[in-house]
Structure 1
Amino acid sequence: MANILVVDDEMGIRALLQEILTDEGHFVELAENAVQARAARERLRPDLVLLDIWMPDVDGITLLKEWGTTAQLGMPVIMMSGHGTIDTAVEATKYGAMAFLEKPITLQKLLRAVEQGLAKPVPPPQRSMAPLAATMPAPVPMRNDRDYRSIDLQPMLNSVPQPVISVLSSGPQSDQNFSLDRPLREARDAFEKAYFEFHLARENGSMTRVAERTGLERTHLYRKLKQLGVDLSRNKRGGN
């Protein structure tokens, strides 16, 4: 029997996973957001975590990254999402997830992933190398016939333009200029916000048509727009 933490903002999914895993003999703790997940992880010290990606306060990838950077990822984590992509799965793996389950999750895939997760040894959490780096002597610059330290690189650096994407379209425009000189997640969120603002303006605020255009369910679309901070009142019309 293992202690398993299930983190998902949808009550039906939490209840279903709890029922299945309890029938398998495991003890299951439930959390519906990142705040509860942090507390449960500290209290339970789970052997395995099933972590949803899309949550209303802090998304699963951010929480996974937080646990990894603070040396709290001492257990296997399986990510879950109903709207995941290959990029999402790769990002989750990069930050320490051992598997990615796409919703709706079949019973066979769930049990196989849990079995493999519990059987896989987890490496000890990586600690910061900053204290070690502070004690190391500074590197001695290499010298040859020319002293490269005398070269002023600042003029060359100043001439390099900041990478900026401008999304051009003949249709409605939104705030679609954003810099690429930022972390990947921030750049992706900026693009997604511009993408949805464009479609909202194009469809005069009709959530039904925006959902059809983007291929998302209305419930997930509302959650995504709220997460990105999209102003729904700007393009809202009488009916949708």
Structure 2
Amino acid sequence: MATILVVDDEMGIRELLSEILSDEGHAVEVAENAQQARDYRLRQAPDLVLLDIWMPDTDGVTLLKEWAAQGQLTMPVIMMSGHATIDTAVEATKIGALNFLEKPIALQKLLKAVEQGLARGTALPAVGGVAAAKSTVPANATTVAAAVALPGLTADNASAGAVAAQAASISFDIPLRDARDAFERAYFEYHLARENGSMTRVAEKTGLERTHLYRKLKQLGVDLGKNKGE
């Protein structure tokens, strides 16, 4: 689960994005202006920021410049606007924004941009144009020593058992976000194997609606072709 800060002066936009991102399993914080966003960033760094360009007090590009100048641009930032020009989008990208979404924002474009932003993590251009190094996994990375205890695992369920073994080999030396994705992938593959690919039963077991479950599996890259869906 990632913490995403939504900065937009329109209440409807904040509520809509909060609902969509919460359904995706993220923790969402909101700010209705640049000052609230500044205050939040002083307290902590979110995993991702969705930042509106046109706001009444300080525009998003100016806020982005402030964060970059103060060394606070340590998280991916996606700009949003319904009126921005190409020049504005290019300027924001040069400062350090990872992406630009035009309003009204299409659901798939939003989810794709958020997915890419979170995957990019801290690999952002730092102040002065020096790119932050992306973490790599050494060949001898430390792995989980003990097997992961997954409820209901039976000896005759070889497929689910193999997934449990896969979960037990998740490295401790990779970024938290990558480890979380790896575990979630193993978690859903385990339940798919136990339920013979039944999306209805997997949705019940995991507590997700089928629509959200399909979206989550697609986001994690889980192959549904080898399972018998319902």
Q: TM-score range by the shorter chain?
A: 0.5 to 0.7
1:70-120 alpha-carbon deviations (Å, 9 max, x no partner): 110000000000112211110110110000000000110000000000001
1:14 aligns with 2:14: yes
Contact 1:68–1:125 under 8 Å retained in 2? no
Work out the CA distance in 1 between the residues paired with 2:127 and 2:111.
32
1:5-48 alpha-carbon deviations (Å, 9 max, x no partner): 00000000000000000000000000001110011122231000
Q: Secondary structure at the match of 2:110?
A: helix
What's the counterpart of residue 96 of structure 2? 96
What's the counterpart of residue 50 of structure 2? 50
Work out the CA distance in 2 between the residues paired with 1:115 and 1:28.
15
Work out the CA distance in 1 between the residues paired with 2:53 and 2:75.
17
Report the RMSD for the aligned CA atoms in angstroms. Answer: 1.7
Q: Secondary structure at the match of 1:46?
A: coil
Superposition map of 1:19-168 within 5 A: 19-123=19-123, 126=126
Deviation, 1:127, is 5.5
Q: Which structure has the larger Rg?
A: 1
Structure 2: gaps (5+ residues): 129-230
Structure 1: gaps (5+ residues): 129-240
1:136-165 alpha-carbon deviations (Å, 9 max, x no partner): xxxxxxxxxxxxxxxxxxxxxxxxxxxxxx
Contact 2:47–2:121 under 8 Å retained in 1? no
Superposition map of 1:159-198 within 5 A: none
What's the counterpart of residue 199 of structure 1? none
Q: Secondary structure at the match of 1:30?
A: strand
1:185-230 alpha-carbon deviations (Å, 9 max, x no partner): xxxxxxxxxxxxxxxxxxxxxxxxxxxxxxxxxxxxxxxxxxxxxx
What TM-score does the superposition give when structure 2 sets the normalisation length? 0.54
Number of corresponding residues: 129
Deviation, 1:49, is 0.1
Give the fraction of aligned pairs with identical amino acids, expressed as a percent.
74
